[in-house]
Amino acid sequence: MITVKDLHKSFGDLEVLKGIDAQVEEREVVCVIGPSGSGKSTFLRCLNLLEDITSGTVTIDGEELTAEDTDINALRTKVGMVFQHFNLFPHKTVLENVTLAPIKVKGLSVKEAEEIGLSLLEKVGLSDKAQDYPDSLSGGQKQRVAIARALAMEPKVMLFDEPTSALDPELVGDVLQVMKDLAQEGMTMVVVTHEMGFAREVGDRVIFMDEGIIQEEGNPDAIFDTPQNPRTQSFLSKIL
Amino acid sequence: MIDAIMNSPYVKSLPFLWEGLQVTVAITLIGLFLGMILGALAGLGKLSKIKVIRGFWTVYIEIIRGTPIMAQALFIYFGLSELQLNSFTTGVIAIALNAGAYIGEIVRGAVYSIDSGQTEAGRSLGLTERQTMRYIVWPQAFKRMIPPLGNQFVISLKDTSVFSVIAVSDLIYQARQYYNATFEQFETLVMVCLFYLIITIPAALYLRRIERKMDV
């Protein structure tokens, strides 16, 4: 589903990604962990070109992101993204947040989009908030709306950029549950996270990044129980 | 008693000042209307990715903001006298040019102030750059423009007072004509200030109400 080859990304003189090779299979849940500044968020943002790629290639569903004939807007509809700070549209109701892109990008009628939107809001447990504005929601509710908004485009892949890092601890569970359900339904997911419990339980594979490269990757039990790379060991010993 | 009131300079100056007030308000409103168009262009120009366009509007804004409006009015009226603009038109143009520069900055600032996460969210959903601006950034930016636009209205209204130097028959000009003839400077100028306040205070109150309503 996703193939990354020799991905480099620099901000000016600062090289943040120093050659990433990775593969994500269909229906796979890959969790990316690592210390802050390790480049894991940048890596995720390169997967839908929110960051320009300095060199290397990213291929999603057979289409190369930076190829000249690739319609990046069309490709992005296949790649849902959930942000750390939700980024809901404050001037639109919860339902309008979810239906905006299906209406404007896919050309659905308002009625069709609202049907889809309401069923997605029900799925994330927020159908009673459809007419509310994001300001009146808790962080956890906002993030679930953001997930519904991304799902409304029926993406093939979902990218999560530290989706629970900005939440109060007691609100994390609901969001993780929605993500778990999504994984069980077979959604392909790449999740940058600090939730080691989630990575272990839901992840099919864990990637540990540090200093702009993938230091180690493997199945969650192997990474968490018997990490081979000294950097992984030291990182995990600090947080577990 | 009634006679005394009717004959007091406060009342007797009213017809003269009323005429001036109409001119002041007309220049402000027409000038601001044009200034808003100019300001929208300037703001968009400053946000443009094309360097020449950005440069052009930057130069315009800096020249206007860096020089006093009186100099601008004198320049248009006397410096460009071959244009043969009358004093009223000169006033309108000066207000439009001036407000346009400040409104340009208001527009640019408002768009800039919208968190980049909003754009990213829009783009990540597959919206084009144009759609993202139209449906996500502009509606939010527009709200943030309202308070500074209200301020600009008050500023432009007061700016018109300098046009008496090019013989625009605004409030100040009329007042001077009146007290030069009657020597009732104090009373006339009290009335002039009241006239300005009659517009600016309700404007400020109204603005505060909109702000509260829109929660900006």
**Distances B61 to A80, B58, B67, B95, B99 between C-alpha atoms, Å:** 41, 5, 10, 13, 10
* pLDDT of B101: 97
Residue of A nearest to B129 (CA): A73
- Among residues B103, B112, B109, B110, the alpha carbon closest in space to that of B149 is found at B103
Shortest distance, CA A82 to any CA of chain B (angstroms): 8
* pLDDT of A101: 96
The DSSP H or E segment spanning B25 is helix B14-47
Quote the CA–CA distance of A91 and B140 in Å, as a whole number.
7
Rounded mean pLDDT, A16-30: 94
For B166-201, the DSSP string reads GT---HHHHHHHHHHHH--HHHHHHHHHHHHHHHHH
- Among residues A103, A102, A97, A138, the alpha carbon closest in space to that of A121 is found at A97
Whether B118 and A89 lie within 8 Å, measured CB to CB: yes
How many residues are present in chain A? Answer: 240
Shortest distance, CA A74 to any CA of chain B (angstroms): 6
- The tens digit of pLDDT for each residue in A83-135 reads 999 999 999 999 999 999 999 999 999 999 999 999 999 999 999 999 999 99
CA angle B152–B155–B161, rounded 5-degree value: 145
* C-alpha gyration radius of chain B: 21
Q: Is A142 on the interface with B (CB under 8 A)?
A: no
Tens-binned pLDDT, residue by residue, of chain B (216 aa): 788 888 888 888 888 899 999 999 999 999 999 999 999 999 999 999 999 999 999 999 999 999 999 999 999 999 998 988 999 999 999 999 999 999 999 999 999 999 999 999 999 999 999 999 999 999 999 989 988 999 999 999 999 999 988 989 899 999 999 999 999 999 999 999 999 999 999 988 988 888 888 765
Q: Are A36 and A69 in contact (CB under 8 A)?
A: no
Q: Is A76 on the interface with B (CB under 8 A)?
A: yes
* B136 DSSP assignment: I
Q: Is A166 on the interface with B (CB under 8 A)?
A: no
* pLDDT of A56: 93
* A226 DSSP assignment: S
Which residue type sits at B7?
A: N
**CA max distance for chain B:** 76
Of A85, A100, A146, the CB nearest to B135: A100
* pLDDT of B215: 65
Q: Is A81 on the interface with B (CB under 8 A)?
A: yes
Whether B124 and A91 lie within 8 Å, measured CB to CB: no
Quote the CA–CA distance of A120 and A114 in Å, as a whole number.
10
Rounded mean pLDDT, A28-47: 94
Whether B135 and A153 lie within 8 Å, measured CB to CB: no
Q: Is B115 on the interface with A (CB under 8 A)?
A: yes
Quote the CA–CA distance of A72 and B127 in Å, as a whole number.
10
* pLDDT of B193: 94
* pLDDT of A239: 82
Rounded mean pLDDT, A30-50: 93
CA angle B62–B63–B69, rounded 5-degree value: 115
Of B120, B126, B139, the CB nearest to A77: B126
Q: Is B30 on the interface with A (CB under 8 A)?
A: no
ipTM score over 0.95, yes or no? no
Bridge partners of A217? A207
* pLDDT of B213: 80
Whether A87 and B120 lie within 8 Å, measured CB to CB: yes
Quote the CA–CA distance of B78 and B166 in Å, as a whole number.
9
CA angle B122–A175–A210, rounded 5-degree value: 75
Quote the CA–CA distance of B203 and B197 in Å, as a whole number.
9
For A103-170, the DSSP string reads HHTS---HHHHHHHHHHHHHHTT-GGGTTS-GGGS-HHHHHHHHHHHHHTT--SEEEEESTTTTS-HH
The DSSP H or E segment spanning B20 is helix B14-47
Q: Is B113 on the interface with A (CB under 8 A)?
A: no
Rounded mean pLDDT, A26-36: 94
Whether B125 and A149 lie within 8 Å, measured CB to CB: yes
- The tens digit of pLDDT for each residue in A128-182 reads 999 999 999 999 999 999 999 999 999 999 999 999 999 998 889 999 999 999 9
Q: Best mutation site among A41, A49, A50 for testing chain B: the one with the most B CBs within 10 Å?
A: A50
Of A90, A91, A153, the CB nearest to B125: A153
The overall average pLDDT reported for chain A is 93
| Cβ-count burial B109-141 (b if 16+ within 10 Å, e if not) | ebbeebeeebbbbbbbbbbeeebbbebbbbebb
Whether B125 and A48 lie within 8 Å, measured CB to CB: no
- The tens digit of pLDDT for each residue in A196-224 reads 999 999 999 999 999 999 999 999 999 99
Q: Are B102 and B66 in contact (CB under 8 A)?
A: no
Whether A80 and B135 lie within 8 Å, measured CB to CB: no
Tokens of A80: 């849902």
Helix (H, G, I), strand (E, B) or coil at A80: strand
Task: Using an 8 Å CB-CB cutoff, list chain B residues near A77.
Answer: 125-126
Q: Which domains does chain B have, with CATH numbers?
A: 16-214 (1.10.3720.10)
Q: Which domains does chain A have, with CATH numbers?
A: 2-87+156-237 (3.40.50.300)
Residues 6 or more apart whose Cβ sits within 8 Å of residue B101: B39, B42, B60, B61, B64, B65
Quote the CA–CA distance of B191 and B193 in Å, as a whole number.
5
Q: How confident is the model at residue A10 (pLDDT cuts 50, 70, 90)?
A: very high
Quote the CA–CA distance of B111 and B87 in Å, as a whole number.
36
